[in-house]
Structure 1
Amino acid sequence: MDRKRRSGRRTVVLTTVRCVLVAAALVAAYYLLPLDSAFTATSVLVLLGGLVAVALLMGWQVRGIVSSERPRLRAMAALATALPLFLLLFATTDYLLDRSAPGSFSEAMSRTDALYFTMTVFSTVGFGDISPRSEPARLLVTGQITANLLLLGVAARVLVNAVEEGRRAQGGAE
Protein backbone atom coordinates (compact mmCIF):
# COMPACT_ATOMS: atom_id res chain seq x y z
CA MET A 1 0.00 0.00 0.00
CA ASP A 2 2.85 2.37 0.84
CA ARG A 3 4.37 1.78 -2.59
CA LYS A 4 1.05 2.63 -4.28
CA ARG A 5 0.78 5.84 -2.24
CA ARG A 6 4.33 6.90 -3.19
CA SER A 7 3.59 6.15 -6.84
CA GLY A 8 0.43 8.27 -6.61
CA ARG A 9 2.32 11.18 -5.07
CA ARG A 10 5.00 10.89 -7.72
CA THR A 11 2.33 11.03 -10.43
CA VAL A 12 0.78 14.14 -8.85
CA VAL A 13 4.18 15.86 -8.58
CA LEU A 14 5.16 14.99 -12.17
CA THR A 15 1.79 16.15 -13.50
CA THR A 16 2.08 19.41 -11.56
CA VAL A 17 5.60 20.02 -12.85
CA ARG A 18 4.47 19.31 -16.42
CA CYS A 19 1.57 21.75 -16.10
CA VAL A 20 3.81 24.47 -14.68
CA LEU A 21 6.35 23.93 -17.48
CA VAL A 22 3.64 24.10 -20.17
CA ALA A 23 2.23 27.31 -18.68
CA ALA A 24 5.71 28.80 -18.38
CA ALA A 25 6.51 27.90 -22.00
CA LEU A 26 3.28 29.52 -23.20
CA VAL A 27 3.97 32.71 -21.23
CA ALA A 28 7.56 32.76 -22.47
CA ALA A 29 6.35 32.39 -26.05
CA TYR A 30 3.89 35.25 -25.50
CA TYR A 31 6.67 37.57 -24.36
CA LEU A 32 9.38 36.36 -26.75
CA LEU A 33 7.58 35.86 -30.08
CA PRO A 34 7.73 38.87 -32.37
CA LEU A 35 4.27 40.44 -32.44
CA ASP A 36 4.90 43.15 -34.98
CA SER A 37 2.00 42.50 -37.29
CA ALA A 38 -1.08 44.66 -37.31
CA PHE A 39 -4.50 43.52 -36.20
CA THR A 40 -6.15 42.34 -39.40
CA ALA A 41 -8.66 39.79 -40.61
CA THR A 42 -5.79 37.32 -40.41
CA SER A 43 -5.44 38.14 -36.70
CA VAL A 44 -9.12 37.34 -36.21
CA LEU A 45 -8.71 34.06 -38.11
CA VAL A 46 -5.68 33.15 -36.01
CA LEU A 47 -7.65 33.90 -32.83
CA LEU A 48 -10.56 31.79 -34.05
CA GLY A 49 -8.14 29.02 -35.07
CA GLY A 50 -6.57 29.20 -31.64
CA LEU A 51 -9.97 28.91 -29.98
CA VAL A 52 -10.75 25.90 -32.16
CA ALA A 53 -7.38 24.44 -31.11
CA VAL A 54 -8.34 24.96 -27.44
CA ALA A 55 -11.67 23.19 -28.09
CA LEU A 56 -9.91 20.32 -29.86
CA LEU A 57 -7.35 20.11 -27.05
CA MET A 58 -10.18 19.90 -24.53
CA GLY A 59 -11.93 17.21 -26.58
CA TRP A 60 -8.73 15.19 -26.78
CA GLN A 61 -8.20 15.65 -23.05
CA VAL A 62 -11.77 14.46 -22.30
CA ARG A 63 -11.01 11.18 -24.05
CA GLY A 64 -7.89 10.83 -21.93
CA ILE A 65 -9.74 11.68 -18.71
CA VAL A 66 -12.33 8.97 -19.29
CA SER A 67 -9.68 6.28 -19.73
CA SER A 68 -7.27 7.61 -17.09
CA GLU A 69 -6.43 5.81 -13.86
CA ARG A 70 -6.60 9.24 -12.19
CA PRO A 71 -9.42 11.13 -13.94
CA ARG A 72 -9.46 14.05 -11.48
CA LEU A 73 -5.75 14.67 -11.86
CA ARG A 74 -6.00 14.37 -15.63
CA ALA A 75 -8.92 16.87 -15.66
CA MET A 76 -6.93 19.38 -13.61
CA ALA A 77 -3.98 18.95 -15.95
CA ALA A 78 -6.26 19.49 -18.96
CA LEU A 79 -7.54 22.73 -17.50
CA ALA A 80 -4.03 23.82 -16.51
CA THR A 81 -2.96 23.39 -20.13
CA ALA A 82 -5.98 24.84 -21.93
CA LEU A 83 -6.58 27.87 -19.70
CA PRO A 84 -3.20 29.59 -20.22
CA LEU A 85 -3.44 29.00 -23.97
CA PHE A 86 -6.96 30.47 -24.02
CA LEU A 87 -5.95 33.55 -22.00
CA LEU A 88 -2.77 34.18 -23.96
CA LEU A 89 -4.68 34.03 -27.26
CA PHE A 90 -6.85 36.91 -26.08
CA ALA A 91 -3.93 38.83 -24.57
CA THR A 92 -2.11 38.59 -27.91
CA THR A 93 -5.19 39.75 -29.80
CA ASP A 94 -5.74 42.69 -27.43
CA TYR A 95 -2.08 43.66 -27.77
CA LEU A 96 -2.16 43.51 -31.57
CA LEU A 97 -5.40 45.49 -31.73
CA ASP A 98 -3.97 48.19 -29.50
CA ARG A 99 -0.76 48.40 -31.56
CA SER A 100 -2.57 48.62 -34.89
CA ALA A 101 -5.39 50.93 -33.76
CA PRO A 102 -4.18 53.18 -30.94
CA GLY A 103 -7.04 54.47 -28.85
CA SER A 104 -8.92 51.15 -28.98
CA PHE A 105 -8.40 50.90 -25.25
CA SER A 106 -8.35 53.61 -22.60
CA GLU A 107 -4.56 53.50 -22.54
CA ALA A 108 -1.74 52.12 -24.65
CA MET A 109 -0.90 48.55 -23.69
CA SER A 110 2.32 46.67 -23.34
CA ARG A 111 2.22 42.88 -23.45
CA THR A 112 1.92 42.84 -19.67
CA ASP A 113 -0.94 45.37 -19.80
CA ALA A 114 -2.72 43.23 -22.40
CA LEU A 115 -2.30 40.13 -20.23
CA TYR A 116 -3.53 42.08 -17.20
CA PHE A 117 -6.56 43.31 -19.14
CA THR A 118 -7.33 39.78 -20.35
CA MET A 119 -7.17 38.48 -16.79
CA THR A 120 -9.43 41.34 -15.65
CA VAL A 121 -12.03 40.38 -18.25
CA PHE A 122 -11.70 36.66 -17.53
CA SER A 123 -12.00 37.03 -13.77
CA THR A 124 -14.99 39.37 -14.15
CA VAL A 125 -13.59 41.82 -11.64
CA GLY A 126 -14.62 44.67 -13.93
CA PHE A 127 -12.83 47.48 -15.61
CA GLY A 128 -10.76 49.94 -13.67
CA ASP A 129 -7.79 51.40 -15.40
CA ILE A 130 -8.02 49.80 -18.84
CA SER A 131 -11.27 49.56 -20.77
CA PRO A 132 -12.26 49.05 -24.42
CA ARG A 133 -13.10 52.30 -26.23
CA SER A 134 -13.41 51.54 -29.93
CA GLU A 135 -16.09 49.36 -31.46
CA PRO A 136 -13.60 46.69 -32.60
CA ALA A 137 -12.15 46.56 -29.08
CA ARG A 138 -15.61 46.29 -27.54
CA LEU A 139 -16.55 43.53 -30.01
CA LEU A 140 -13.36 41.68 -29.18
CA VAL A 141 -14.01 41.98 -25.44
CA THR A 142 -17.64 40.92 -25.91
CA GLY A 143 -16.40 37.85 -27.77
CA GLN A 144 -13.93 37.14 -25.00
CA ILE A 145 -16.62 37.43 -22.33
CA THR A 146 -18.79 35.01 -24.30
CA ALA A 147 -15.88 32.59 -24.71
CA ASN A 148 -15.07 32.95 -20.99
CA LEU A 149 -18.60 31.94 -20.06
CA LEU A 150 -18.44 29.00 -22.44
CA LEU A 151 -15.08 27.89 -21.07
CA LEU A 152 -16.18 28.26 -17.48
CA GLY A 153 -19.59 26.68 -17.97
CA VAL A 154 -19.49 24.19 -20.79
CA ALA A 155 -15.87 23.09 -20.56
CA ALA A 156 -16.04 22.74 -16.78
CA ARG A 157 -19.17 20.60 -17.08
CA VAL A 158 -17.61 18.45 -19.80
CA LEU A 159 -14.52 17.87 -17.65
CA VAL A 160 -16.65 16.98 -14.62
CA ASN A 161 -18.69 14.53 -16.72
CA ALA A 162 -15.48 12.96 -18.06
CA VAL A 163 -14.15 12.54 -14.52
CA GLU A 164 -17.41 10.92 -13.41
CA GLU A 165 -17.40 8.60 -16.41
CA GLY A 166 -13.77 7.68 -15.79
CA ARG A 167 -14.50 6.93 -12.14
CA ARG A 168 -17.53 4.81 -13.09
CA ALA A 169 -15.39 2.86 -15.56
CA GLN A 170 -13.00 2.08 -12.70
CA GLY A 171 -15.79 1.09 -10.35
CA GLY A 172 -15.71 4.34 -8.36
CA ALA A 173 -11.95 4.47 -7.67
CA GLU A 174 -10.08 7.78 -7.19
Structure 2
Amino acid sequence: MLVIGLVVFIALVAFQVRSIVRSPFPGLRAVEALTTSVPLFLLLFASTYVVMAAMSASNFGGPLTHTDGLYFAVTVFATVGFGDVTAKSEAARLVVTGQMIADLVILGLAIKIIMGAVSRRRQPGGASGAQPPEEIHR
Protein backbone atom coordinates (compact mmCIF):
# COMPACT_ATOMS: atom_id res chain seq x y z
CA MET A 1 0.00 0.00 0.00
CA LEU A 2 2.77 2.43 0.94
CA VAL A 3 4.81 1.72 -2.20
CA ILE A 4 1.79 2.19 -4.49
CA GLY A 5 0.89 5.37 -2.64
CA LEU A 6 4.41 6.73 -3.02
CA VAL A 7 4.36 5.98 -6.76
CA VAL A 8 1.06 7.90 -7.06
CA PHE A 9 2.55 10.72 -4.99
CA ILE A 10 5.65 10.92 -7.22
CA ALA A 11 3.44 10.96 -10.33
CA LEU A 12 1.36 13.77 -8.82
CA VAL A 13 4.47 15.80 -7.99
CA ALA A 14 5.87 15.27 -11.50
CA PHE A 15 2.58 16.48 -13.00
CA GLN A 16 2.56 19.48 -10.68
CA VAL A 17 6.17 20.44 -11.47
CA ARG A 18 5.32 20.36 -15.16
CA SER A 19 2.25 22.49 -14.52
CA ILE A 20 4.29 25.01 -12.44
CA VAL A 21 6.80 25.42 -15.26
CA ARG A 22 4.01 26.08 -17.79
CA SER A 23 1.90 28.32 -15.56
CA PRO A 24 1.66 32.09 -16.13
CA PHE A 25 1.58 32.37 -12.32
CA PRO A 26 4.18 29.83 -11.19
CA GLY A 27 4.39 31.01 -7.57
CA LEU A 28 0.64 30.62 -7.09
CA ARG A 29 0.68 27.26 -8.86
CA ALA A 30 3.56 26.09 -6.64
CA VAL A 31 1.61 26.97 -3.50
CA GLU A 32 -1.43 25.15 -4.91
CA ALA A 33 0.75 22.12 -5.64
CA LEU A 34 2.03 22.07 -2.06
CA THR A 35 -1.47 22.33 -0.62
CA THR A 36 -2.43 19.14 -2.42
CA SER A 37 0.83 17.18 -2.26
CA VAL A 38 1.75 17.56 1.41
CA PRO A 39 -1.65 16.48 2.79
CA LEU A 40 -1.65 13.47 0.43
CA PHE A 41 1.84 12.57 1.62
CA LEU A 42 0.83 12.86 5.29
CA LEU A 43 -2.39 10.87 4.80
CA LEU A 44 -0.42 8.15 3.03
CA PHE A 45 1.90 7.70 6.00
CA ALA A 46 -0.92 8.12 8.53
CA SER A 47 -2.84 5.29 6.84
CA THR A 48 0.27 3.13 6.82
CA TYR A 49 0.79 3.68 10.55
CA VAL A 50 -2.84 2.79 11.33
CA VAL A 51 -2.59 -0.41 9.26
CA MET A 52 0.73 -1.35 10.86
CA ALA A 53 -0.71 -0.81 14.35
CA ALA A 54 -3.75 -2.95 13.46
CA MET A 55 -1.50 -5.71 12.10
CA SER A 56 0.53 -5.88 15.30
CA ALA A 57 0.02 -3.95 18.51
CA SER A 58 3.76 -4.19 19.12
CA ASN A 59 4.54 -1.89 16.17
CA PHE A 60 3.47 1.22 18.10
CA GLY A 61 2.81 -0.05 21.59
CA GLY A 62 -0.93 -0.29 20.95
CA PRO A 63 -3.62 0.36 18.38
CA LEU A 64 -3.78 3.72 16.61
CA THR A 65 -6.99 5.44 15.58
CA HIS A 66 -7.06 7.35 12.31
CA THR A 67 -6.59 10.53 14.32
CA ASP A 68 -3.60 9.00 16.12
CA GLY A 69 -2.06 7.97 12.79
CA LEU A 70 -2.48 11.46 11.33
CA TYR A 71 -1.19 13.05 14.53
CA PHE A 72 1.90 10.85 14.47
CA ALA A 73 2.57 11.49 10.75
CA VAL A 74 2.29 15.26 11.26
CA THR A 75 4.46 15.08 14.38
CA VAL A 76 7.17 13.26 12.43
CA PHE A 77 6.82 15.67 9.48
CA ALA A 78 7.15 18.69 11.77
CA THR A 79 10.13 17.06 13.53
CA VAL A 80 8.47 17.69 16.88
CA GLY A 81 8.45 14.18 18.33
CA PHE A 82 6.48 14.52 21.57
CA GLY A 83 7.11 10.87 22.42
CA ASP A 84 3.50 9.97 23.22
CA VAL A 85 3.32 7.79 20.10
CA THR A 86 6.50 5.93 19.24
CA ALA A 87 7.57 3.28 16.78
CA LYS A 88 8.40 0.16 18.80
CA SER A 89 9.21 -2.52 16.23
CA GLU A 90 12.03 -2.55 13.71
CA ALA A 91 9.53 -2.49 10.81
CA ALA A 92 7.72 0.54 12.24
CA ARG A 93 11.02 2.32 12.85
CA LEU A 94 12.08 1.67 9.25
CA VAL A 95 8.82 3.16 7.92
CA VAL A 96 9.15 6.19 10.22
CA THR A 97 12.78 6.61 9.13
CA GLY A 98 11.61 6.46 5.52
CA GLN A 99 9.09 9.21 6.26
CA MET A 100 11.77 11.35 7.90
CA ILE A 101 14.04 11.06 4.87
CA ALA A 102 11.13 11.74 2.50
CA ASP A 103 10.14 14.75 4.67
CA LEU A 104 13.58 16.27 4.18
CA VAL A 105 13.46 15.65 0.45
CA ILE A 106 9.95 17.12 0.16
CA LEU A 107 10.85 20.20 2.18
CA GLY A 108 14.02 20.75 0.16
CA LEU A 109 12.23 20.30 -3.16
CA ALA A 110 9.31 22.48 -2.10
CA ILE A 111 11.61 25.34 -1.19
CA LYS A 112 13.56 24.90 -4.42
CA ILE A 113 10.42 24.78 -6.59
CA ILE A 114 8.77 27.78 -4.96
CA MET A 115 11.92 29.88 -5.01
CA GLY A 116 12.60 28.83 -8.61
CA ALA A 117 9.08 29.78 -9.62
CA VAL A 118 9.33 33.14 -7.90
CA SER A 119 12.73 33.92 -9.44
CA ARG A 120 11.46 32.81 -12.85
CA ARG A 121 8.58 35.24 -12.58
CA ARG A 122 10.81 38.10 -11.40
CA GLN A 123 13.00 37.82 -14.49
CA PRO A 124 12.15 40.41 -17.14
CA GLY A 125 9.52 38.86 -19.38
CA GLY A 126 9.36 35.69 -17.27
CA ALA A 127 10.39 32.36 -18.72
CA SER A 128 8.13 32.72 -21.78
CA GLY A 129 9.43 36.12 -22.86
CA ALA A 130 5.99 37.65 -22.36
CA GLN A 131 5.45 40.77 -20.33
CA PRO A 132 4.26 40.30 -16.76
CA PRO A 133 0.46 40.85 -16.49
CA GLU A 134 0.80 44.12 -14.56
CA GLU A 135 2.85 45.68 -17.37
CA ILE A 136 0.45 44.63 -20.13
CA HIS A 137 -2.35 46.85 -18.81
CA ARG A 138 -0.28 50.01 -18.34
Q: Alpha carbons of 1:81 and 1:148: their partners in 2 closer, same or farther (altered >3 Å)?
A: same
Q: TM-score, normalised by structure 2?
A: 0.83
Alignment-derived partner of residue 69 in structure 2: 114
Alignment-derived partner of residue 48 in structure 1: 3
**Mapped partners of 2:26, 2:47: distance in 1:** 32
Alignment-derived partner of residue 157 in structure 1: 112
Computed over aligned residues only, the root mean square deviation of the Cα atoms, in angstroms, reads 1.9
Query: Which residue of 107, 112, 124 maps to 2:79?
Result: 124
For the 8 Å contact 1:64–1:74, the answer to whether it is kept is yes
Q: 1:2-36 CA distances to partner (integer Å, 9 max, x unpaired)?
A: xxxxxxxxxxxxxxxxxxxxxxxxxxxxxxxxxxx
Q: Secondary structure at the match of 2:63?
A: coil
Q: TM-score, normalised by structure 1?
A: 0.67
Q: 1:68-119 CA distances to partner (integer Å, 9 max, x unpaired)?
A: 1211111000000111110000000000000001121133211110110111
**Mapped partners of 2:101, 2:34: distance in 1:** 18
1:1-174, aligned counterparts within 5 Å? 46-165=1-120, 168-170=126-128, 173=132
C-alpha displacement at 1:159, in angstroms?
A: 4.0
Q: Percent identity?
A: 47
C-alpha displacement at 1:162, in angstroms?
A: 4.0
For the 8 Å contact 1:66–1:165, the answer to whether it is kept is no
Structure 2's unaligned 5+ residue stretches are: 134-138
**Mapped partners of 2:6, 2:81: distance in 1:** 23
Structure 1 stretches of at least 4 aligned residues deviating more than 6 Å after TM superposition: none
Bigger RCO (CA 8 Å, 6+ sep) = 1
**Mapped partners of 1:48, 1:153: distance in 2:** 21
C-alpha displacement at 1:163, in angstroms?
A: 4.3
Q: Alpha carbons of 1:99 and 1:93: their partners in 2 closer, same or farther (altered >3 Å)?
A: same
What letter matches 1:141 in structure 2?
A: V
Q: Secondary structure at the match of 1:48?
A: helix
Structure 1's unaligned 5+ residue stretches are: 1-45
Q: Alpha carbons of 1:163 and 1:67: their partners in 2 closer, same or farther (altered >3 Å)?
A: farther
